[in-house]
Structures are given as structure tokens and as C-alpha cells.
Chains A and B, each alone.
Chain A
Amino acid sequence: KQEVTQIPAALSVPEGENLVLNCSFTDSAIYNLQWFRQDPGKGLTSLLLIQSSQREQTSGRLNASLDKSSGRSTLYIAASQPGDSATYLCAVRPNFNKFYFGSGTKLNVKP
């Protein structure tokens, strides 16, 4: 079974700082990896989807990278804003039928 780990569990940074969230997985044979954002009391919102054949994806101030050989993905957030405060989860899809989520990193961006 694929194990997905996210470190740190929580992160607090001042506004404007660039930051990196980490996601590691135990089995490098994956179909794709997805980063989500979850706001308190709400569902998940997809941020970026990286296919197995891709190395990175970018959307606005967000950049996600994938290194299958080392079992790692990073989510880079540039010029963080208080509105970025949320829990960020990564989800690994090892095959067509399975999805495994990390426990998330709770981000707090202080004004």
C-alpha cells in the first residue's frame, strides 16, 4: 500500500514569504499526483495535477514539482498571502483505481 507523508504538519509564515510544502510517497510507480487545498469546514479544491510523465505544473503563484525516483513532490507558493491560509493535501494515485491522501500541511500566513 502506498504511504503518503506530508511534512511539516503545520507552518506559520509572515505575508510575502515564499514557501515550500513537501509530500513524499513510498512507491514511485504512480499514475499521477494532485495537490489540493482545504479550507475549514469545506471540501477540497484541486490546485494542480501532475501526470506521471511530467516534472512540474504551474498555476499563478503555485508551482508543483514531481520527482518519482525519489518519491517526492513539492508545492511552491510564491509571495504568500493571508488568503493562502488553509490545509494543503497531496494525493497520490498509484493506479487507475486507488487514491491515497497525505494528512496535510496546515498553513497560516500572518498579515
Chain B
Amino acid sequence: DAGVIQSPRHEVTEMGQEVTLRCKPISGHDYLFWYRQTMMRGLELLIYFNNNVPIDDSGMPEDRFSAKMPNASFSTLKIQPSEPRDSAVYFCASSLGLAGSTDTQYFGPGTRLTVL
């Protein structure tokens, strides 16, 4: 398997624009996670899905953030409108399960977002 795939790898946009980040999890993994990493706050869990259903979105910072998983092989994280403080690296990760050895998460390479 190619691992978790994220696109784009880099995104530069202007404040107020809509941004869509994409993720393809590892085939067969039932769980998908979206994280944000900044120097100030470190790595934070934003939301995670189980079998395409959002389970916990308590980490989503504001209503400007939304995430969807229309099928088992694709998820999006959308920011509308974007603000400079949203600048960060956004990671997607997937795992087989959430119990025992299946809990191991596999991370994508991340999308570096810069909002001017």
C-alpha cells in the first residue's frame, strides 16, 4: 500500500479564501484522523471518523472548519473562510481500529497551509 496520501503538500492562500485539504487513507483502515500541528500548540486532534462517520469533532476549532468522509477512501477538511491563524501543517492519519495493536496510526506527509 502507498500509505496515507494527502494533497496538496503545500497550499498558500489569501485570508478569506476557501481551502480544501484532501486525504486518502490506507485501504482497509476503518478510522481516519485529522490533526493540526503548530509551533505554539503542538499536535492537536481535530476530528476522527469511524467507517466514514464522524465520531468526535470536539477538536475542531471553529465553525469555519468542516470535515467530510463521503466514502472509505476519501476525506476532506475544509476551511471557509480561512484566516492567517489557520496557518499550520495539517496531518491525516488512519488506523485499522482503536483497540489493542490495531490502534497504531499511520500518518500522511501533511499539508503545509499558509494563509496570508
Mark A residues whose CB is within 8 Å of B: 32, 34, 36, 41-46, 49, 51, 89, 91, 93, 96-99, 101-104
A interface SS class: strand
- With contact pairs A97-B55, A98-B45 given, residues A46 and B98 touching in the complex (Cβ less than 8 Å): no
> Once the chains are docked, how many angstroms separate the CA of A46 from the CA of B106?
7
Cα A49 to Cα B102 in complex, Å, equals: 10
The chain B residue sitting closest to A91, CB to CB, is B43
Contact A42 B43 (CB under 8 A): no
Give Cα distance in the complex from A41 to B112, angstroms: 9
* List of A residues within 8 angstroms of B42 by Cβ: 101-104
**Is B104 an interface residue, CB under 8 A from the partner?**
yes
Any chain A CB within 8 A of the CB of B91?
A: yes
> 9 tightest CB-CB pairs across the interface, nearest first?
A43-B107, A101-B43, A44-B107, A97-B56, A103-B42, A46-B104, A99-B45, A43-B109, A43-B108
Instruction: Tell me which residues across on chain B come within 8 A of A91, comparing CB atoms.
Output: 43
Is the CB–CB distance between A89 and B43 below 8 Å?
yes
Judge whether A43 and B4 touch: CB under 8 Å.
yes
- Do A51 and B100 form a contact, CB below 8 Å, given A97-B55, A102-B42? yes
Chain B 102-116: CB-based contact to A (< 8 A → 1; otherwise 0): 011111111000000
